[in-house]
């Protein structure tokens, strides 16, 4: 099953890490840490929205299928005798 959206646990992780990053910026930069955090957040969002998803390319030579696995097992059984 393939999901195209984020679930509640993903949002919880994102919010927790964002708050931790905000607190780190506040410790290092003082009051300017909020501005730095907002800048990093905006730039990261822009970069993330402009990223193109790559289609997974499967070469038949490099992709290991179930049929290949069965042939390996048969070869293993034959080589034991």
pLDDT digits (tens, 9 = 90+) for 21-43: 999 999 999 999 999 999 999 99
Neighbours of 40 (CB within 10 A): 14
pLDDT tier for residue 62 given thresholds of 50, 70 and 90: low
Residue 16 has which token pair? 């927790």
Query: Residue 10 pLDDT more than 60?
Result: yes
Domain ranges of the chain: 1-52
State the pTM of this model.
0.56
pLDDT tier for residue 18 given thresholds of 50, 70 and 90: very high
Closest by Cα among 18, 14, 15, 11 to 37: 18
Residues near 29 by beta carbon (within 8 Å), at least 6 away in sequence: 36
């Amino acid at each position: 099953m393939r999901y195209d959206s984020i679930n509640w646990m993903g949002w919880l992780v994102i919010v927790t890490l964002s708050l931790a990053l905000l607190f780190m910026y506040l410790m290092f930069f003082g009051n300017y840490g909020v501005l730095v955090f907002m800048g990093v957040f905006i730039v990261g969002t822009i970069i993330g929205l402009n990223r193109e998803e790559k289609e997974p390319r499967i070469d038949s030579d490099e992709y290991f299928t179930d049929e290949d696995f069965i042939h390996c097992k048969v070869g293993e059984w034959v080589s034991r005798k």
